[in-house]
Amino acid sequence: MTEHSGGPLDNHGPKEEPVTIVDNRKIDQDGKPSAPQGDVSEAAANSAAAPAAEGDALADSISAELSERTADLQRLTAEYANYRRRVDRDRKAAIDSAKAAVVTELLGVLDDLDRARAHGDLESGPLKSVADKLADALQKQGLEEFGVEGEPFDPTLHEAVQHEGEGHNPVIGVVMRKGYRFGDRVLRHALVGVTDGVADLSDSSDTANAGRDADGAE
């Protein structure tokens, strides 16, 4: 047998370097390899970001709906407040109209009491007490009388049935029938006689005196 000086003859040729494969995955409890640590972190981050985005979208949706419901509630509150004010105003107007209608029916009684007072029939006695109580009760409800001698003439309150003088400052000279109002509502105009005011009378007197002085100087 022939020997080779370099050592035994290798029939398979030169040896190759072994290939080493490094697997960073770990074996879980079921014996299956788990994902590498880097992949796990990225997947966990992605899985955590998705619910956060969904939560933000849900929060925005809830906030928008809450704002819309709040605006609806504020609008309904304002409408209800306006409705309450309108109802209260209409109720008060109805009550005032009813009171005014009742008081208007009693104006004739007040006229009779005024005539009795003018004749001295209400100076004493039970009728005076009744008249005073009736007048006080009507005044408490808001009835006011107007039309007094010496007051300036007001065509919105007074009805002139006679006029004496030529002045431009008319005042009430005589009251033939009192006027009454209930709140802002005039129930009845006063019947009066109108005469010249004090200023007009003074001017007329001055004019007459000046005329007499002129005649005397001549």
Measured CA to CA, the distance from residue 160 to residue 135 in angstroms comes to: 26
pLDDT in tens, 49-67: 666 677 778 888 888 889 8
Q: What is the pTM of this model?
A: 0.56
Place of tokens 């190759």: 16
Among 182, 85, 185, CA closest to 138: 182
Token pair belonging to 198: 């004090």
User: Which residues have a Cβ under 8 Å from the Cβ of 161 and sit 6 or more positions away?
Assistant: 176, 191, 192, 193
Q: With CA atoms as reference, report the closest residue to 107 among 130, 147, 134.
A: 134
Backbone angles phi, psi at 182, to 5 degrees: -125, 100
Is 41 or 163 the better-scoring residue by pLDDT? Answer: 163
| pLDDT for res 5 | 47
- Give CA–CA dist 16/8, Å, rounded: 18
